[in-house]
Chains A and B, each alone.
Chain A
Amino acid sequence: MQKRTWVAAAMAAGLAWGAAGAAGAATVTVLTSFPKELTSAYQKAFEAANPGIKIEILNKNTTAAVAYVRELPEGQRPDVMWASAPDAFEVLARAKLLTPAPDTVNKNAPTKIGNFPLNDPEGMYYGQALAGYGIMWNTRYLKAHKLEAPREWSDLTKPEYFGHVAISSPSRSGTTQLTVETILQGEGWDKGWTQLLEMMGNAAAVTDRSFAVPDGVNNGQYGLGIVIDFFGLAGKYSGFPVDFVYPSVTAVVPANIALISGAKNADEAKKFMAFTMSSAGQQLLFDPKISRLPILPYDTLKAPAGYPVPQEVAKRAKVHFDTNLAESRYQVVINLFDQMVTFRLKELQAATKAIQEADKALKAKPNAQGKDLLAQARSLAYSPLVGEGNAKDPQFLELFKKSRRDVAVSKELTGMEQMWADKAKSNYAKAQQLAQQARGMAK
């Protein structure tokens, strides 16, 4: 009896609590995938400057965030969406779940970074911070394994890095997809894939979330990680023995903020958006635990000494990132990467190991026939299964844009994925075998 009363009381109290929480008037709910240090800093600073308005942070990973907004009815949705991956904003914009808020944009910010437009041309979302791509590493790990710090992506293809590199899957992480696309645009489709596959042959892991890479490098599970810049910088400025470099093939692109359609408190939400893009809001990005690049030029801000300057990184960067190209082949790139790397990592590693060993043996004792076999092995292991011609073919690309709920489309797509999977597996096996033969000839 006693127990039942207690449960009832708890229920009632809980309900009252829930109702009271919802009744607050000027509460802006911000849906974000950003880490807590960043969101708390903005929440505190904004609330201090705007006493009447309360910020409620709702943290979900980008995919869950998009699904969440899509499932909610108008009037129940959060007010602001704030995240890195541009494709998430594209999905929301296409579903008419975003509303333009051009008056929130800071006039002092440039309209382009490098040749990349800072804000969405349709005005659905706006650049709030900048990010470039690069390599981070753990200094203790490199020292213990007697490894040099890399400078360029191509360094990561060297045999001494075998088993030391980590990356996230581009199908799981929008920023990794941009990194992969940057390499493909910088080096060209075929050469880019060869370099990527050589790098991935050295991979220790392909993680499911982008965050797992910097974390693994921070705690020393992996020596090197392919990451977005603030992952490396925030770790470094927070005291971890890690460092970060922008290779010359990089791109600087914005992280975005947008107003969600049917927001309850649109006016207050806009105030918050404007704040994040104002000088005061941009200054917060220099916090060591946040360490992001601002969109505003440094003459209006107080940047810490030695802090990377986005305009300079963008200027040095060799890639002129083409968003349309990236979007047109988005599905092909992520599917191909998953079938050739994520799901076949073990086989790719084995082939790479055999190739590296054969290469070493042949360098010590050259043999023409062995060299031939090794070249064949490389070509098998490191050529993309989709040629540049196909990757440009609108008819081929069209297939990936159709709905998978159509059984015939789905059949064609799964058939293709199956073909890639089989091909990748048999290519890696053959490459491994050829490399072992080649090694045997080094006498």
Chain B
Amino acid sequence: MSADLAARGAVVPARPSTALSGIGPWIAFALIGVFLLAFLIVPVCLVIYTAFVTETGSLTFGHFANFFGQTVFMESFINSVLVALASVFFASVIAVPLAYLTVRFEFRGALLIQTLGVLPLIMPPFVGAVALQLIFGRSGSVNLLLDDWFGFTVPVMEGLTGVIFVESIHYFPFILLNLVAAMRNIDGAMEESALNLGARGFRLFRRVIFPLAMPGYLAGAALVFVKVFDDLGTPLVMGVTNMLAPQAYLRITSVGLDDPLGYVISVIMIVFSIVALWMSARLMKGKDYATLQKGGSALQKRRLSAWEALLAYGWITLVLLVVLAPHLGILLMSFAKVWSFSVLPDSYTLEHYATVFTDSGNMIGNTLLYCLLSATIDVVIGTAIAYLILRTRLPARQWLDYMASVALAIPGLVLAIGYLRMFRDVTLPFTDTPVIASWVLIMLAYAVRRLPYALRSCMAALQQVHISLEEAAQSLGAGRMSVIRRVMVPLMAGGIMAGFVTSFITAAVELSATIMLVSRESQAPMSYGIYLYMQSVAGRGPGAALGVLAVVVVGLGTYFSHRFVERSRATVQSV
């Protein structure tokens, strides 16, 4: 593919980056390394070493042998892989047209569509599944209507199909966000040349635009794959147990924390996720996606013909309807007094919002505090790692990536128990508050668990910035720090923002680690509140109301960050 493009003179062939010397990168490397060791690797090792020791503490691989002796685990493994692959496929079917249509064409409400398209991520997966049950479930609105009108029902929410359905809807924004960022970075001149050479329509998309946006797409797809592979909440809510994450969870939490098989499964999931990410990195290797011209001419926005517009709007409406169904469900639920076996609730009330506001107002503040801090940590570290990997030749720099990516595969529960074990007797500096009783651990757990998202986006963004741009600045006398600050970071802004937004909103719905680390209700974030209110037989209205608030708060945050990126792009272009 790259040879193909290079032959057309579109892309400059890859060139070894100039070796940067000096002590700066080493310091950054050491700082990041220490952070990852302290807050990820060591705590996790404290927990998973259980998989490798016998009762007397001697080393063994016997637990692994026992694991592979069980067919239910092999069956679970195969199911997990199938579900993850299918979810990547369907998530792409949703995300690619949305991204292409909104970036490439003059489109009313493109920004709105991109923002709406991110909404699914804001909902904790288990809430999404609950809400989807109300709409598409066995006795959900759609099936009740179908049964009424036509006498049949559609079992989309059953078994593995249901898991794939929910996961695709939930995680497609990973692809959308990264793809949009990548496509915006494509040099319009590429498209011009392709057009001049006679490529049109689908061929243009397939041979030029999509390949150039490949880093973004692969970054997103790899995330979807890994996240689906170890998502726990969705299969559990759907009652599917024959997948790897639920098996690990059921083992750890029911047979008891002492059962090594749960940890064996965790280790296997970690290894598998790393292999998946490594393979996506391999696919990118030896290909150069950087383009030279920045800001001057982005992809040209084209007009759609009347027919095309009809088709495009039709498709987008359909997709948004399905994708936003959980939000509709949760919104109705938040106003519903009783909603049971009927297409719509029996009657409506504002009571649930009153309950939430009087009872749990501080949760909104907590969520914003933890998530803004953790997302900031993530993009700072993510950019730094991307820089060290792509622009320096430090030995073992790839290990930072591998280490950070481990977090993707760590069950929140495992990380949280690791934190509690590691920080047992440590107090916060300058106070006598124990670390485990403070919210700092919650925030750090968010930062660590979401770091891979930010990292993938930052790497993808930096891969698209051609090194010549930095070299040019350097040859004009700019120091390394000012090259980073004035050239590299601004050019990566879209990708960094995508990383920030993904980290921020997924941290806002993080639940498994939260439940374990919250030590006082006053420090609880919204995700915990939603979970709490949802565990009520007397009605889940307040939980739904808090869910709606979470969506609104985080949705606004996303919208404004998009606006921010648009504006900064406009500034760059006008310079």
A residues sitting closer than 8 Å to B (CB atoms) are: 7, 10-11, 14-15, 18-19, 21-22, 29, 35-37, 40, 56-61, 63-64, 67-68, 70-73, 76, 138, 140-141, 144, 169, 171-172, 204-209, 211-212, 214-215, 218-222, 230-231, 234-235, 238-242, 288-289, 334, 338-339, 342-343, 346, 403-408, 410-411, 414-415, 417-418, 421-422
Determine the distance from Cα of A408 to Cα of B440 in the docked complex, in whole angstroms: 41
Cβ-defined contact, B369 with A58, below 8 A = no
Cβ-defined contact, A73 with B425, below 8 A = yes
Determine the distance from Cα of A138 to Cα of B339 in the docked complex, in whole angstroms: 12
A-contact 0/1 string along B224-242, CB 8 Å cutoff: 0000000000001101011
Cβ-defined contact, B372 with A10, below 8 A = yes
Cβ-defined contact, A417 with B70, below 8 A = yes
Cβ-defined contact, B537 with A214, below 8 A = yes
Asked if A19 meets B520 with Cβ closer than 8 Å, knowing A14-B369, A141-B341, A410-B63, the reply is no
Contacts of B428 in A (CB 8 A): 15, 18-19
Residue of A nearest to B516 (CB): A64
Cβ-defined contact, B536 with A37, below 8 A = yes
Looking at the assembled complex, report how far the CB atom of B335 sits from the nearest CB atom of chain A, in whole angstroms.
Answer: 15
Residue of A nearest to B522 (CB): A21
Cβ-defined contact, A407 with B60, below 8 A = yes
Cβ-defined contact, B516 with A67, below 8 A = yes
Cβ-defined contact, B537 with A211, below 8 A = yes
A-contact 0/1 string along B9-31, CB 8 Å cutoff: 00000000000000000000000
Query: Is B518 engaged at the interface, CB distance under 8 Å to the other chain?
Result: yes
Asked if A18 meets B438 with Cβ closer than 8 Å, knowing A10-B373, A64-B515, the reply is yes
Looking at the assembled complex, report how far the CB atom of B17 sits from the nearest CB atom of chain A, in whole angstroms.
Answer: 29
Asked if A414 meets B261 with Cβ closer than 8 Å, knowing A238-B537, A240-B340, the reply is yes
Determine the distance from Cα of A190 to Cα of B407 in the docked complex, in whole angstroms: 47
Mark the stretch among B169-177, B250-258, B287-295, B396-404 that contacts chain A. Answer: B250-258
Residue of A nearest to B262 (CB): A404
**Which of chain B's residues 33-92 have a Cβ closer than 8 Å to chain A?**
50, 53-55, 60, 62-63, 65-67, 69-72
Cβ-defined contact, A138 with B532, below 8 A = no
Query: Is B565 engaged at the interface, CB distance under 8 Å to the other chain?
Result: no
Residue of A nearest to B539 (CB): A238
B residues sitting closer than 8 Å to A (CB atoms) are: 50, 53-55, 60, 62-63, 65-67, 69-72, 133-134, 137-140, 159, 236-237, 239, 241-242, 246, 250, 253-261, 337-342, 359, 369, 372-373, 376, 413, 417, 420-421, 424-425, 428, 431, 433-434, 436-440, 515-516, 518-523, 532-533, 535-540, 542
Asked if A171 meets B439 with Cβ closer than 8 Å, knowing A219-B339, A238-B539, the reply is no
Cβ-defined contact, B239 with A58, below 8 A = no
Looking at the assembled complex, report how far the CB atom of A272 sits from the nearest CB atom of chain B, in whole angstroms.
Answer: 16
Asked if A342 meets B241 with Cβ closer than 8 Å, knowing A141-B341, A410-B63, the reply is yes
Residue in B376, B413, B436, B540 whose beta carbon sits within 8 Å of that of A76 in the complex = B436
Cβ-defined contact, A19 with B70, below 8 A = no
Residue in B250, B337, B369, B540 whose beta carbon sits within 8 Å of that of A172 in the complex = B250
A-B contact pairs, 21 of them (CB 8 A): A15-B440, A18-B523, A36-B535, A58-B518, A59-B521, A60-B515, A68-B420, A68-B516, A144-B341, A208-B241, A219-B134, A241-B340, A404-B255, A406-B54, A406-B55, A407-B54, A407-B62, A410-B259, A410-B261, A411-B69, A414-B261
